[in-house]
Amino acid sequence: MDGQSKEQVFERAQNIIRDKACRENTLYVFSLYHSGDTMKLAAYAHHLKEFYPQPRIAFVSLQKNSVVKDMFDAVDEIITISEEEREILELTSQQHVCMYGENWIVGSSKNMLLSHFPGPEGVYGTDVSKVFPNACEAYKSMILQIPYFYDAADVSSDFVDAYDEILAERYKNSILLAPFAYSIPSPVPYFWEDLARWLKEEGYDVYTNVSQSEQEIDGTFRLCEDLRTTFNLCRYFSAIISTRSGFSDFMAFQPEVLHIVFSPEENMMRFHDIAAYGRSEKIYNINWNMRDPMPEQEMLERVEDILEEYV
């Protein structure tokens, strides 16, 4: 924080940890970033109980990441932190990378990777991918300190609604577009508009996944639901087409839907491949390369080929 020394920030971080990690019977995992990184950690929480003596696991994260408690049975509790507290812990992690106590883990995945593998291209360069084939294995090994070959958990049965034939009939010819991301570039807006127009010409009902403040793509229906509702609705869609984002991390655990993901460069597509940890076998990456973008017509043809094969 402005005007504070490293020692002062570290002391504030220690006070936050002591305040949050207050029960000896609970292992506290501090997840400092957005939903995608939190999902990567929470999916392996069940393995932590093999290595730590605590019978309970709590994730300490932003309120918007609270859905992981309902998604994964091994997560017993969510403890929320404010954005200010997250920033303090993040600043501390930049200096100390990962910190461990008897009943807590603090690790910032992005800063951890950047600190260990600062290479000329940062986290997306070849340095880190020579050590770990994908981000998920890096998170497991370096933050959670569990073996890289351990598998992600299935989504809790309580998180999955019973099959609904009415919804299946309603959405059977629908495609959900998810063009928005917080930190990763997306193909330009006119691409999504052209894609929506083409899909409608092909006879699909087209939806845009949006938050309250986002605007749906022109000519599409607005889908603005909580994550659990969206997760359960999407099982009935013909496909999801998304930019690489936390939403695509989340939907990687929906095993019943075709998922086409646009990644902005080849290294990111490989290193952050959601198929590396998700539970779906129908995930297909398209590298549109923001430095030398794939021609729009070629991108549309790639989507068409995948839809023709799997829908």
Confidence grade of residue 125 (pLDDT, cut at 50, 70, 90):
very low
Span 182-220, pLDDT tens digits? 777 788 888 999 999 999 999 999 999 999 889 999 999
pLDDT at 168: 97
Residue 272 near residue 135, CB atoms below 8 Å? yes
Q: Which residue has the tokens 């894609």?
A: 195
pLDDT at 142: 79
Which amino acid type is present at position 150?
A: Y
Q: Which residue has the tokens 């083409």?
A: 198
Distance CA 22, CA 20 (A): 6
Span 208-264, pLDDT tens digits? 999 988 999 999 999 999 999 999 999 999 999 999 988 999 999 999 899 999 988
Span 65-93, pLDDT tens digits? 999 999 999 999 999 999 999 989 988 87
pLDDT at 129: 59
The residue ranking higher by pLDDT, 57 or 295, is 57
Compute the mean pLDDT over every residue in the chain, rounded to the nearest whole number. 87
Find which of 109-118, 129-138, 170-179 is predicted with most confidence, using mean pLDDT: 170-179
The residue ranking higher by pLDDT, 301 or 281, is 301
**Looking at the chain, which residues constitute the CATH 3.40.50.2000 domain(s)?**
164-310
Is 17's pLDDT higher than 70? yes
pLDDT at 141: 81
Tokens of 218: 């022109």
Domain at 164-310: CATH architecture: 3-Layer(aba) Sandwich (3.40)
pLDDT at 107: 74
User: How much of the chain exceeds pLDDT 90, in percent?
Assistant: 58
